[in-house]
Amino acid sequence: MTSHEIDYEIFGEEMQYVEIELDPQEAVVAEAGSFMMMDDGIKMETIFGDGSNQNQGVMGKLFSAGKRLLTGESLFMTAYLNQFHGKRKVSFASPYPGKIVPIDLTNYGGRFICQKDAFLCAAKGVSVGIEFSRKLGRGFFGGEGFIMQKLEGDGMAFVHAGGTLARRELAAGEVLKVDTGCIVGFTKDVNYDIEFIGGIRNSLFGGEGLFYATLRGPGVVYIQSLPFSRLASRVFAAAPQGGGKDKGEGSVLGGIGRLLDGDNRF
């Protein structure tokens, strides 16, 4: 194996975290901001790229980092190396409510395609790059689903899905139509494209966008019920405008709160 072998355990329900057990000299790489806690004896180091081409000189490091830059991610990742003589543990947390999905790349032919914001962490040696689209329509209309990350190697990787997770196994030729933001990831044999919804009423009044993704089997597809973009838009829409205070959105308690604040508007 070219990737480090790691053991793990996932804790929690709505706000999960993954605890990874490292043998001496084993390491895991993670996105900045996902770190939760670690045992003493683990060295944390910022690396250029994903760490998969560290033995290939300067050009290997530049290529690794360049792939991440194209996806809008940072040029750097963080590696956690166990320098202790015994087993040590390090944990990484979900960025928002949902599920952490363990992906054993050896079970999926060494490659898994996921949303660019879904990747959480992986065994050192797993390559985190981009999946280039050969179809022009994906670039113009794909939205969140256009720039996909490509996880390659023979180790464990962990991705995050918002809300409730659905796993579908598609037979050869079977088609699943999905909102582009709801795609978490899929295996390498799944064919992915963007399709126009069609219809004047659907386009003007449907409220679901003009395009959706079509996923054609064979392969495994992971779908999330709460994309981060959808969560963020709902929070933004519900936020008080102009810096005003909202203590209940029209409820009785909200009215009492406004009276206490000296605000007589109902």
pLDDT tens string 201-242: 544 444 455 678 899 999 999 999 988 777 676 677 777 765
**Which of helix, strand or coil describes residue 235?**
helix
**Is the CB of residue 142 less than 8 Å from the CB of residue 201?**
no
| Cα 218 from chain centre | 23
Give the pLDDT score at 67. Answer: 57
| Cα 181 from chain centre | 11
How would you classify the pairing of strands 42-48 and 7-11?
unpaired
Residue 257 bridge partners (DSSP): none
> 152-168: per-residue pLDDT in tens?
999 999 999 999 999 99
**Is the CB of residue 170 less than 8 Å from the CB of residue 219?**
yes
Higher pLDDT, 257 or 104: 104
Torsion angle, alpha carbons of 157, 163, 164, 170, to 10: -60
* Percentage above 90 pLDDT, the chain: 46
Q: At the topology level of CATH, where does 7-239 sit? A: Double-stranded beta-helix (3.60.160)
Q: What angle do CA 40, 41, 42 make, to 5 degrees?
A: 95
Residue 119 bridge partners (DSSP): 159
Model confidence at 254, pLDDT cuts 50, 70, 90, reads low
Q: What is the DSSP string of 130-190?
A: EE----HHHHHH-GGGTSEEEEESSSEEEEEEESSEEEEEEPTT-EEEE-GGGEEEEETT-
DSSP state at residue 251: S
Amino acid at 85: H
Domain ranges of the chain: 7-239
**Is the CB of residue 37 less than 8 Å from the CB of residue 91?**
yes
Give the pLDDT score at 136. Answer: 43
Comparing CA positions, the residue from 133, 212, 227 lying closest to residue 175 is 212
Amino acid at 73: E
Model confidence at 117, pLDDT cuts 50, 70, 90, reads confident
Please, what's the largest Cα pairwise distance for the chain?
A: 69
Instruction: Report d(CA 178, CA 181) in Å as an integer.
Output: 8
Give the pLDDT score at 140. Answer: 46
Instruction: Report d(CA 98, CA 159) in Å as an integer.
Output: 11
Torsion angle, alpha carbons of 215, 74, 32, 157, to 10: 40
Q: What mean pLDDT value characterizes the chain?
A: 79
> Which stretches of 26-155 are assigned E, i.e. beta strand?
27-30, 35-38, 42-48, 76-82, 88-93, 98-104, 111-115, 119-123, 127-131, 148-152
